[in-house]
Structure 1
Amino acid sequence: MASNSGGNLNSSELDDQIREYLVYRGFTAAARSFEAELAKSNSGPAINFTNTVSSGFVDKSCNVDKIVDTLMNLIAAHDLVQLTNLWSFLSKKFFWSCDSGQSSALRKIEISLYRCFLVNCVTSGRSDKVLEFFEKSSKLLPQYDWGEWYGLPYVKNPELNDRYAPFFQRAWQETFTISLHNFLNTVFLSVPKPSLLNHRQEAALVLNLRDENFLLKEQLLTKQMQARNSFEKISSLDSTIEAKIPTESELKELQARGNADVPITDGQSLENPGKTTSKATLVNGFGLRQTIKSAMPKGRSKATVSSSSKKKSPLTARKNEDVGKQKSGSIPGTTHHQIENGGDSCQSNAVKMSLESSLPNGSSHRGQRDAQSVGDSLLRSRVSGLNSSTSTSSYSLHHPNSSDPYMILSTDEYSCHSSTVTHCYFSPSGKRVASSDGSTVNVWSLENSSVKTLATFASSNSKARILCMEWVPTKDDSLLLTGNDRSVIRLYDVTTSKCIREVETPVTFPVVIGLACSSTGSRLLSSQTSASHVTGSVICWDLKTFQIERQLALSSQNGNVKALTMDFNHNASLVALGCSDGSVRIFDVQQNEQLMHWAASTVKMVHVSVINVKFSFDDTYIYTMSSNGILTKWSALKPGTKFSEFALSQKSINFNVGSHHSFPKLFAIDNTNSRFLVPCENGVQILTSSTEDGFRVSQKVSNWPGKAASCLDWAASANILTIVSGANSNSLLVRHMLAK
């Protein structure tokens, strides 16, 4: 049963699953043997199930009686280490799913458990164990719950003291035991099955996800092929139309067949008739422009122009007749083709008119018939091309710039917020979006290419304002954290729209301005400020139990520094902080030690804060966004080493912080460290980064004329981008883009 010495993460997880299964079934003797083997192999702290607990099992739920007996026996044996380990194990494996009501009861039960331990130590005369308790557990004990109890070791006859006397009574201890038993019964009624019992369901889920992923890949390839075929049809249609337009040599050949002067056209200059040209510009439905030029004879006088304008030739009359028919919707020479688009009919007649104007005045009837024949054949081909274009793909309605690497497939708008949207975040899987306007949080689902509201929840206190959000990494994207300016952090289940956990921050720092969750889902960082927003604090929480692990020490010359943004590295051992004094700080979370520190801005006499910070996916770089709109790439190994930077224009800086100093997300990065999303003057822009060229603008996406994005995020894969952004309004835009 023993695992290898220094086992890897998988063996540690398996040990936890076996321990969880044994406790669930009530196999306490087997659990005791298993923990003894683990202790011998030095693979982790052992939970000593004392010999007073007999073996047995419960078929459908945990054996609460045996767990309570084990806790009481550890208290009687004054074994603080094993008591703490067992309670931490129960909290991690079973208590994490408690709702907000059970969380407050859990906190009271835990405090009473340790007070019962202290009372038993004092009664047995083990004052050394009392001192050991306060020395080892002082970092985990809230001051407002244990302030009076720190004097217990120095009070003579505490059982006679009014503060401690009620806890030394037998009635209190019996009441606590009953409360502990009832609480465990309540929790275990809804406890999920151990992971070992769910292996078949997990395997089936993995197979289903694999099949679904395969189908989605096939659908994506099909859509990509359809898009390419559509653009190929468009390109071939443009080439066909361009090939059927008469060339300059063909027009000169028609002109050479005539014997008289060419009547002056609209494109001919009266000031300099010797250098006139006739131009007919064709504009098709896809943006193609083709200009036909024909050389005009020299030596025309103004008198000739005026006389020719008064005397109408047969071709001129024919031209006017064509114009009249054009207005009525019919085209000469075409009996089976109708052009419904007025602009296209004008372009089609412009072709024929330019052909007629290129013929000499008074030419032979053969020249007229040739010109008419060429013009009619050209017109028929043009009409045929326009009619065929009406059945092309809808992508032709929005033809992107040929230099853009992505084309826009669709645009969706969210407009259910009652006030300005301040934050928007994609879930880790990219299937959901959470947005907040300060009083309400909406969660949107993007599955199956449709947009629908999945959950909506508001702050329970009408005066509280939601200042930050953070997704908890889970398989189903179901957990979302929020922080407000009333010392409260809440954990929501977005599938049920219910608050399942609530915790209060220290009263000295009531304004929660930032949250950061580790990719493993085990740790949470919260950044708080005082009510005056002068000083700040960063607290590290155990996300399973919501117990405070440690408080990061922020030091500054003037003492007034706040962490405005935070990000964990891949294994949650390091955290990067962007601070209000313009500095970047790297902390070792385990040792609670600041490893690196440097100033992100070298501009003197100008106050610049770091409002966004992000580790690269390989932890070799750190990217920061400053309040003056500068995106910078730093080395994560050499403090202060800058590789490149990109400065946003003044019109691209559009965020509104307000009085709470809570900043939105203003840049996003893909998993290759090569593509970035930042605001631009009319929406958002995609940047690319390389070692040689630094940051370069790859494509701009216009969302709001004259407005830059005030909050943004994206879900980026190799070929598909899904971008969400807002611009100080009560709506969000989501654009789906495909690589060309």
Structure 2
Amino acid sequence: MGSAVERTDEHVREYLIYRGFTSTLKHLDTDIKADKEKGFRVDKIIDQLQQLVQSFDLSGLKEYWLYLDRRLLCRLEDVYRSTVNKLRTSLYRYYVINTVQVTSCRKTQEFFQKQALELQSQVEWRDWFILPFIPTPEQNPAFSPYFSRQWADTFLVSLHNFLSVLFQCMHILQLNPQPFADECPVSSCIQFHSEAVLFALQTESRDQREGDEMVHHKLPVYVQNMDRLGDTEDLVSSQRPVSAATTPSRNFFSTFLPQGRRTPGKLPQFTTGSSPSQAAVGRKDPPINLVRGEGVFKFKKKKGETGEGELLAEASSEPPDPCSYSRSCRGGAEGGGLSMEQPFIKLGQEEYGEHHSSIMHCRVDCSGRRVASLDVDGVIKVWSFNPIMQTKATIMSKSALLSLEWATKPDRLLLLGSGVGTVRLYDTDAKKNLYEMNIDETHPRILSLACSPSGSSFVCSAAALSRPGSVDSAPRLPVPVSGQLLLWDTKTVKQQLQFSLEPEPVAINCTAFNHNGNLLVTGAADGVIRLFDMQRYESAMSWRAHDGEVYSVEFSYDENTVFSIGEDGKFIQWNIHRCGVKQSEQVLPQDATGPFVLSGYSGYKQVQVPRGRLFAFDSEGQHILTCSSSGGLIYRLTNGEPALESMLSLGGHKAPVVTVDWCSAVDCGTCLTASMDGKIKLSTLLAQKS
């Protein structure tokens, strides 16, 4: 509807210019700038609400919501009043949570003082009055779900989609321009649809006079099943684990998004009907994209109905650009065919730009609350992105830093590996080093760190200095350097043992534990993958996996296989029950495997060998995120050939992405992609449940 309003405004402007009514045109432009309804652009309305929340303008927030309610929401039938009330409750809770996260207690107490008379009689707010007096509400079981990014994103998308449906279904003034004679370049004939109601432009005085005669706006039938649209309890419960036997969560997306991996049939062709309402539906206006992603919804009038419609879901054939609310119908609409449903909706993308050189490592902690990123200059940034992007600590070292890893217990601790044979344990809350361990002077380069899920130990890969003539930022020499793999106890801060690396000591590039720490997989510079039994502390098996170095290894979701990426550009799945047996193999482009190259003016070229994680899995292990020259790429794992099926490009980067991570601590996952220009992108995805 927003595009229809914009087109109408343009037609009015053309008419005023043609008639020479410049004064009226100036007043029109002034009124449009002050338009609280934002031209029925839902994204603009949501942005305005978020701006009021982030600026802690409670009176402005109440006033703006009251305006929306008086001008738009109150015109809905009574059956939707409970949904509107729940959305308002969620909006206020969104405001309160923001005050707690950003301003401590002052603004929180101010909210409850100003809203006490209104809220104290409402059951859903009864337990919230203790919020300002809880020391750490984000850790309280009753309130912790509201502090998650998933809850905030789901609420905002729910509100956006509800308003989109409302705007799609409400009646609007239609200007039907007809051309003048050939000598007239502008539109002149303005016709009104006989059934059109001047909904958006009615004056408030007329609203008051109409009283009970005011026209109600009917939503489609399916919206009657969405009375839990703004129900915060449903949004919260969707974050809690449920058994496979339970019924699907009845939240907003279970109603709106296409279910399963079915391929919809061909869309019916809309034709212009005889009635004005049918003519309006039959126009070739672009359909509204209700979600910041794949689901494009059209409405078709049924015979005999006056305002209700049926929902038709259409999946785009091209990757969406969900960072903006696209109003264009991509791919299959005009061709009549439909493509497979996208597994994720990209809710948005943010940038962290505090680094000034290429990133080596970028990792999210176990809780999904903190990120640690390390650049080639040895600068480490510890930062958070919920509710706002904020740097928590900056760590600088006199000696080069080469690796990092989050501890599992407690997750505020960060392990930092240097280029001078030391590993530091850093407390990100206290912003200080707890202790420093001297690993091995003969193998000073700490290439990889992996913390056991039990939290009692960590594995450290130490390598000798690079041979003369080679540096970390250039391709490595064909002959691997010597290395050690050591196990350290985090409680005693002592080395427990040194693993045997057959056939010869070699630099281990990457390490990963399975879920309980009983198995450890490593990838080495000699192209060999080694699997260690951590109960016996011995090698269980090893096999040559790649021609060249192994850059990245991870266990599969079921832990029956291991995935690896090597210098030969191959992404391979290995069966750990049958030593050296491939289950699948696929060649990836160089921008996914490295070495990574950044070219500049006057022949400048920067080359970087992979150091961080090159791929990461989603929470169910069915999709992987990889690097690319312009952003992350998401693939779906298949059981056949090819092994990977391209699903979604995250984009957003101007330099090659060199390391990735996928935070799946909550259903609304966050993909991190870090590039050679020091930029880190956070892409928030919402999984479409099957």
Judged with a 3 Å threshold, the aligned counterparts in structure 2 of structure 1 residues 735 and 317 are, in CA distance, closer, same or farther, namely: closer
Which of these residues, 600, 622, 626, is aligned with residue 566 of structure 2?
Answer: 626
CA shift at 1:412, angstroms? 1.3
Q: Which secondary structure does the structure 2 equivalent of 1:481 belong to?
A: strand
**Contact 1:482–1:490 (8 Å) recurs in 2:** yes
- 1:98-148 deviation line (CA, Å, top 9, x unaligned): xxxxxxxxxxxxxxxxxxxxxxxxxxxxxxxxxxxxxxxxxxxxxxxxxxx
CA shift at 1:207, angstroms? 10
Judged with a 3 Å threshold, the aligned counterparts in structure 2 of structure 1 residues 635 and 444 are, in CA distance, closer, same or farther, namely: same
CA shift at 1:225, angstroms? 3.1
For the residues of structure 2 that align with 1:560 and 1:338, how far apart are their CA atoms?
Answer: 75
Judged with a 3 Å threshold, the aligned counterparts in structure 2 of structure 1 residues 405 and 320 are, in CA distance, closer, same or farther, namely: farther
- Residue 667 of structure 1: aligned partner: 615
Q: Which secondary structure does the structure 2 equivalent of 1:318 belong to?
A: coil
| 1:549 equivalent in alignment to 2:496 | yes
- Residue 397 of structure 1: aligned partner: 325
| 1:415 equivalent in alignment to 2:353 | yes
Which of these residues, 567, 572, 585, is aligned with residue 517 of structure 2?
Answer: 572
Q: Which amino acid aligns with 2:426?
A: Y
**Contact 1:541–1:547 (8 Å) recurs in 2:** yes
- Residue 644 of structure 2: aligned partner: 695
Judged with a 3 Å threshold, the aligned counterparts in structure 2 of structure 1 residues 331 and 596 are, in CA distance, closer, same or farther, namely: farther
Which of these residues, 420, 440, 446, is aligned with residue 512 of structure 1?
Answer: 446
For the residues of structure 2 that align with 1:736 and 1:659, how far apart are their CA atoms?
Answer: 29
**Contact 2:351–2:679 (8 Å) recurs in 1:** yes
CA shift at 1:496, angstroms? 2.2
Q: Which secondary structure does the structure 2 equivalent of 1:226 belong to?
A: helix
Cα RMSD, aligned residues only = 4.4
What TM-score do the two structures reach when normalised by structure 1?
A: 0.49
For the residues of structure 2 that align with 1:492 and 1:319, how far apart are their CA atoms?
Answer: 77
Judged with a 3 Å threshold, the aligned counterparts in structure 2 of structure 1 residues 414 and 208 are, in CA distance, closer, same or farther, namely: closer
What TM-score do the two structures reach when normalised by structure 2?
A: 0.53
**Contact 1:654–1:727 (8 Å) recurs in 2:** no
Judged with a 3 Å threshold, the aligned counterparts in structure 2 of structure 1 residues 495 and 208 are, in CA distance, closer, same or farther, namely: closer
- Residue 441 of structure 1: aligned partner: 380
Q: Which amino acid aligns with 1:682?
A: S
* 1:93-132 matches, cutoff 5 A: none
For the residues of structure 2 that align with 1:482 and 1:490, how far apart are their CA atoms?
Answer: 5
- Residue 225 of structure 1: aligned partner: 158
| 1:497 equivalent in alignment to 2:428 | no
Q: Which secondary structure does the structure 2 equivalent of 1:702 belong to?
A: coil
Percent of residue pairs identical? 25
For the residues of structure 2 that align with 1:590 and 1:389, how far apart are their CA atoms?
Answer: 57
CA shift at 1:681, angstroms? 4.2
**Contact 1:479–1:491 (8 Å) recurs in 2:** yes
- Residue 469 of structure 1: aligned partner: 404
- Residue 267 of structure 1: aligned partner: none
Judged with a 3 Å threshold, the aligned counterparts in structure 2 of structure 1 residues 316 and 479 are, in CA distance, closer, same or farther, namely: closer
For the residues of structure 2 that align with 1:235 and 1:716, how far apart are their CA atoms?
Answer: 34
- Residue 454 of structure 1: aligned partner: 392
Q: Which amino acid aligns with 1:225?
A: S
For the residues of structure 1 that align with 2:529 and 2:581, how far apart are their CA atoms?
Answer: 12
For the residues of structure 2 that align with 1:636 and 1:337, how far apart are their CA atoms?
Answer: 65
- 1:136-182 deviation line (CA, Å, top 9, x unaligned): xxxxxxxxxxxxxxxxxxxxxxxxxxxxxxxxxxxxxxxxxxxxxxx
Which of these residues, 582, 586, 595, is aligned with residue 527 of structure 2?
Answer: 582
| 1:529 equivalent in alignment to 2:440 | no
For the residues of structure 2 that align with 1:390 and 1:689, how far apart are their CA atoms?
Answer: 28
| 1:598 equivalent in alignment to 2:543 | yes
Q: Which secondary structure does the structure 1 equivalent of 2:685 belong to?
A: strand
| 1:406 equivalent in alignment to 2:344 | yes
**Contact 1:648–1:680 (8 Å) recurs in 2:** no
CA shift at 1:684, angstroms? 1.2
- 1:716-736 deviation line (CA, Å, top 9, x unaligned): 367422111122112211111
For the residues of structure 2 that align with 1:589 and 1:731, how far apart are their CA atoms?
Answer: 37
CA shift at 1:213, angstroms? 4.1
Q: Which secondary structure does the structure 1 equivalent of 2:650 belong to?
A: strand
For the residues of structure 2 that align with 1:547 and 1:659, how far apart are their CA atoms?
Answer: 37
Q: Which amino acid aligns with 2:584?
A: S
For the residues of structure 1 that align with 2:444 and 2:323, how far apart are their CA atoms?
Answer: 52
**Contact 1:522–1:544 (8 Å) recurs in 2:** yes
Q: Which secondary structure does the structure 1 equivalent of 2:440 belong to?
A: coil
**Contact 1:710–1:728 (8 Å) recurs in 2:** yes
Judged with a 3 Å threshold, the aligned counterparts in structure 2 of structure 1 residues 520 and 677 are, in CA distance, closer, same or farther, namely: same
- Residue 141 of structure 2: aligned partner: 210
- Residue 539 of structure 1: aligned partner: 486
For the residues of structure 2 that align with 1:212 and 1:618, how far apart are their CA atoms?
Answer: 32
- Residue 181 of structure 1: aligned partner: none
| 1:679 equivalent in alignment to 2:627 | yes
Q: Which secondary structure does the structure 2 equivalent of 1:639 belong to?
A: coil
Q: Which amino acid aligns with 1:677?
A: L
Moved more, 670-679 or 420-429: 670-679
**Contact 2:525–2:548 (8 Å) recurs in 1:** yes
Judged with a 3 Å threshold, the aligned counterparts in structure 2 of structure 1 residues 230 and 408 are, in CA distance, closer, same or farther, namely: farther
Q: Which secondary structure does the structure 2 equivalent of 1:594 belong to?
A: strand
Judged with a 3 Å threshold, the aligned counterparts in structure 2 of structure 1 residues 437 and 529 are, in CA distance, closer, same or farther, namely: same
For the residues of structure 2 that align with 1:632 and 1:652, how far apart are their CA atoms?
Answer: 13
CA shift at 1:539, angstroms? 0.8
- Residue 361 of structure 1: aligned partner: none
- Residue 44 of structure 2: aligned partner: none
CA shift at 1:543, angstroms? 1.2
**Contact 1:230–1:395 (8 Å) recurs in 2:** no
- Residue 729 of structure 1: aligned partner: 677
**Contact 2:595–2:608 (8 Å) recurs in 1:** no
| 1:425 equivalent in alignment to 2:363 | yes
Any unmatched runs of 5+ in structure 2? Answer: 1-133, 202-272, 293-321, 331-338, 468-480, 598-605
For the residues of structure 2 that align with 1:625 and 1:489, how far apart are their CA atoms?
Answer: 26
**Contact 1:688–1:698 (8 Å) recurs in 2:** yes
Judged with a 3 Å threshold, the aligned counterparts in structure 2 of structure 1 residues 316 and 721 are, in CA distance, closer, same or farther, namely: closer
For the residues of structure 2 that align with 1:214 and 1:228, how far apart are their CA atoms?
Answer: 22
- 1:324-346 deviation line (CA, Å, top 9, x unaligned): xx6xxx8756899999xxxxxxx
**Contact 1:513–1:662 (8 Å) recurs in 2:** no
Which of these residues, 583, 590, 596, is aligned with residue 650 of structure 1?
Answer: 590
For the residues of structure 2 that align with 1:593 and 1:444, how far apart are their CA atoms?
Answer: 37
Judged with a 3 Å threshold, the aligned counterparts in structure 2 of structure 1 residues 233 and 539 are, in CA distance, closer, same or farther, namely: same
**Contact 1:653–1:708 (8 Å) recurs in 2:** no
For the residues of structure 1 that align with 2:584 and 2:287, how far apart are their CA atoms?
Answer: 50
- 1:252-304 deviation line (CA, Å, top 9, x unaligned): xxxxxxxxxxxxxxxxxxxxxxxxxxxx9xxxxxxxxxxxxxxxxxxxxxxxx
For the residues of structure 1 that align with 2:608 and 2:640, how far apart are their CA atoms?
Answer: 40
- Residue 548 of structure 2: aligned partner: 608
Judged with a 3 Å threshold, the aligned counterparts in structure 2 of structure 1 residues 399 and 523 are, in CA distance, closer, same or farther, namely: farther
For the residues of structure 1 that align with 2:422 and 2:610, how far apart are their CA atoms?
Answer: 15
CA shift at 1:624, angstroms? 1.1
